[in-house]
Amino acid sequence: MADLLWPPRCPLCDRVVGFAETCPECGRDSVQLLRRQQPAVPGPGRAMDFLDGAFAAFWYEPPVQDAIVRMKQNGRSDIAAWCAGEMLLALERAGGPVVDLVVPVPAGRTQMRRRGRFDGPRYMAKILAGGLGAALCTDILYKAFDTPPQHLLSARDRRSNLLGAFAVCPRRAAQLAGKRVLLADDVFTTGATLNECAKMLRAAGAAECWGVCTALARTPRERDGGKADMGEAALPDGAGGKGAAEG
């Protein structure tokens, strides 16, 4: 009945697909072209000092990029559910780590107001936790203060922008002792966001910190040189733009 009242839409192009298995316009070609055959995120050129590793299902390019922006701006839980499903598949393809806890990257108050209280990473983390048989922990990590949007900053400034921005709730810190944690977010750009979160979790006692995102932004060398999984160059200063990734 719900599908009749609110027909399912394609997460990529937003057309109504009803009961069809695939979108007649998008089919599977667009998804296959952007699906990363090696979901592990290359470390060189990205901030991963406190991460044991990270994984991403797609490259952050249209139409996947459009879907993520639509999810954020319009509070689309159906797109968030699709993203989480793809993240689970990416972890499976990569032989991802066994984890005890799934923690969403927390949003600041300004972000939550702008998005109408919809928290995409939190929604995705719930599905990930269920799929992995891990505990969902939404009250361990929080954003202590608002920061300028990451996509408005240079690659260098993205790292310093988040210093001290995340914190572990003292009353929940004991839950982290010796635990293997998976951080969930929508987009991995420079890695500054996940890395800063992992730093705080490790300081509070976590044994391992991993990250998983729906999409990974290509570095300049990956875009221009065709070295899709090398990840050798950092993003240039000034990288970003409308609908750009924030991680």
Q: pLDDT tens digits, residue range 132-156?
A: 999 999 999 998 766 655 555 566 6
Classify domain 34-224 at the CATH topology level. Rossmann fold (3.40.50)
Residue 33: per-residue pLDDT: 78
Residue 153: per-residue pLDDT: 56
Residue 238: per-residue pLDDT: 34
Main-chain dihedrals φ then ψ at residue 67, nearest 5 degrees: -65, -40
Residue 232: per-residue pLDDT: 32
- Nearest alpha carbon to residue 14 among 88, 84, 78: 78
- Cα angle 210, 62, 237; round to 5: 65
What's at 67, amino acid-wise?
Answer: A
- Indicate if the alpha-carbon torsion angle 223, 25, 58, 126 is positive or negative: positive
Residue 45: per-residue pLDDT: 81
Pick out the chain residues at pLDDT < 50.
Answer: 226-243
Residue 199: per-residue pLDDT: 96
CA distance readout (Å), 101 to 52, 128, 132: 15, 10, 9
Q: Name the pTM for this structure.
A: 0.81
